[in-house]
Chains A and B, each alone.
Chain A
Amino acid sequence: MHKRVTFNNKLLPYLLLAPQLAVTLIFFVWPAFQAVEQSVLVQDAFGLSTKFVWLQNFKNLFADPNYLASFQVTVVFSIAVAGFGLAFALLLAAMADRVVRGATGYTTLLIWPYAVAPAVAGALWSFLFDPTVGEVTHLLGFFGINWNYLLNGNQALCLVVLAASWNQISYNFLFFLAGLQSIPRSLIEAAAIDGAGPGRRFWTIMFPLLSPTGFFLLTVNVVYAFFGTFGIIDIMTKGGPAQSTEILVYKVYSDSFRALDLGGSAAQSVILMFIVMVLTVVQFRYIERRVHY
């Protein structure tokens, strides 16, 4: 954890830590603490008095069909984003791992979506799928599909999933490629000598050995779908139509800044904090395991 040889100085370490700790305490810990405090209080309509209500705000939330619907949307959304994004990235990484020539070139051509902001990605995809001028909308119309994501909830959900997994593709691709390239070549050669073809080798050797990477990416993608996709949702659908794309993070935002429901939104924040905490612990437990791998 620290060095055997350390410097003796009473004041200096605190000075070095001061900026980081100050920002953490003022802008992270204090607001989080306030959210917890606010979540057990109820304020009257004029903001004049507040009352301590124990877990009433949480009870209200879980009795609220809108909140439960938002929970459900979030679960479907994150499974779809993680599943779709990981499968596509794994396919590309497996192919890039096979080709000898041009692998770096393909990497360059595939890494740049990482640099595109979710909000910008949202703008690009909503142009492609725009109900009146979108290029893909015309194509779908040709196949007899009437595309209008502004009215159809399922189509809206598909579209945000598409944009969100597109945005995350480079990240998944880079990790899968690194994972594939760290598999010892001797294992693959041995299997080839024993007569296993490329497909067989992939499913029986490479895929199982890739499972730690896959599991890590799964948590990262779920965290991304939960919290990183705010910009996509806000630009493309604003949670609509009829809340069919209103994920939890978006609901916190619209409840705090539009509906100004303080207690309720604070309770939602607390629930989200709990979810991040669980996901972070899962992620770090996995890292500990991999160290002993």
Chain B
Amino acid sequence: MVENRPWVTVFSHLVLIVGVVIVAFPIYMAFIASTHSLATILQGRVPLLPGSHFWENYSTVLGQGIGSASSPPVLTMLFNSLVMALSICIGKIVISIIAAYAIVYFQFPLRMTCFWLIFITLMLPVEVRILPTYKVVADLGLIDSYAGLTIPLIASATATFLFRQFFLSVPEELAEAARIDGAGPVRFFVDILLPLSRTSIAALFVIQFIYGWNQYLWPLLITTKQSYYTVVMGISRLVNVVDVAPNWNLIMATALLAMLPPVVVVIGMQRWFVKGLVETEK
């Protein structure tokens, strides 16, 4: 603060509060809707205060799913989402950290070719090459399996770059000292580099967990059996009902449950997340 202008400060707070309210408004309304019965909502005006159907709605979606939309219980979908998010995020971190290690700490033929191959993945989002990727996965027989849900999304240029950047900033003397003391490449990696990378790993965990959890198009294509639905894609099954009014109270309950885990991860690990986000993308 360079000067004392109380009115400007008050104004700043005011703008921020209005901003926060606007940003939070959809969530608030979703929460309100999820505590009322469908009849109340369909009367035409959604009340502005919570109703009394909280337990009823949440236990219905968690335990039974929504019959008219033929969706599985949200609990099943949450479990699938968790499996998918964790496998993608841990898989990405593991294969990226060892790839970055190879690129930074070894001299070998075709090193740059490998680096550029990984770089290319940045330019090919799933949305762009939907049909051919789907065909490859179908040919490999991975439709309706956790492997099909996760493995095609596990390559990560972003994570490889982040680790490469970090390894380049590790002092040369560490590797020198390790070598003089007789440590091999595996020993050096496990005992020295890995502990040093903890912060980067934590930051990437948050970003990639959210990436994995929020996948929509891929599970939509890959799953045909209800037992493999993830919760984010399951929402599309709920919204797109034919001939009946959507069960807004149950849809909103599902939406809130679908966003709860990633929001908890982001807010719980805010420090690493902010640092990692701003640094990864640099």
Binding site for B on A (CB under 8 A): 2-10, 12-14, 16-17, 19-21, 23-32, 34-35, 38, 88, 91-92, 95-96, 98-100, 102, 106-121, 123-128, 130, 132-135, 138, 166, 169, 171, 174-175, 178, 185, 188-189, 192, 198, 216, 220, 227, 230-231, 234-235, 249, 252-253, 256-257, 262, 265-266, 269, 272-273, 276-277, 280, 287, 290
Judged by a CB distance under 8 angstroms, whether B251 is at the interface is yes
**Are A20 and B160 neighbours in the complex by a CB distance under 8 Å?**
yes
Residue of B nearest to A95 (CB): B12
Query: A16-B102, A23-B154, A116-B263 known; 5 other A-B pairs, CB under 8 Å?
Result: A27-B152, A124-B30, A125-B26, A133-B41, A234-B217
**Are A88 and B19 neighbours in the complex by a CB distance under 8 Å?**
yes
Q: Quick check: which of B64-72, B115-123, B197-205 contacts chain A, the rest being far away? A: B115-123
Residue of A nearest to B106 (CB): A13
By a CB distance below 8 angstroms, the chain B residues around A9 are: 106, 185
Judged by a CB distance under 8 angstroms, whether B124 is at the interface is yes
Cα(A26)–Cα(B153), bound, Å: 11
By a CB distance below 8 angstroms, the chain A residues around B125 are: 227, 276
Residue of B nearest to A114 (CB): B266
Binding site for A on B (CB under 8 A): 1-3, 5, 8-9, 12-13, 15-16, 19-20, 23-27, 29-30, 33, 41-42, 44-46, 94-96, 98-99, 101-108, 111, 114, 117-118, 120-125, 127-133, 135-137, 151-152, 154-156, 160, 167-168, 172, 175-176, 179, 184-186, 188, 210, 213-214, 216-217, 220-221, 232-233, 235-236, 238-239, 245, 248, 251-252, 255, 258-259, 262-263, 265-267, 270, 273-274, 277-278, 281-282
Cα(A25)–Cα(B118), bound, Å: 9
**Are A112 and B111 neighbours in the complex by a CB distance under 8 Å?**
no
